[in-house]
Amino acid sequence: MHRRHSLRLKGYNYAMAGAYFVTICTQERVCLFGEVVAGAMDLNEAGQMVAAFWYGIAARFPGVEIDQFVVMPNHLHRILVLPDAGATASGATKTRATTRVAPTDPRL
Interatomic CA distance for residues 63 and 41, integer angstroms: 29
CA-to-CA distance for 39 and 18, rounded, in angstroms? 32
Q: What's residue 61's pLDDT?
A: 86
Is residue 43 helix, strand or coil? strand
Q: Tens place of pLDDT for every residue, the chain, 108 residues?
A: 667 777 788 888 988 999 999 899 999 999 999 999 999 999 999 999 999 998 888 888 888 887 888 999 999 999 989 887 655 445 444 444 444 445 554 444
> In 3-state terms, what secondary structure has residue 14?
coil
pLDDT attached to residue 89: 46
What is the structure's pLDDT at 25?
Answer: 94
Locate the domains of the chain by residue range: 18-99
Q: Which amino acid is at 94?
A: K
Residue 81: CB atoms within 10 A of its CB come to 19
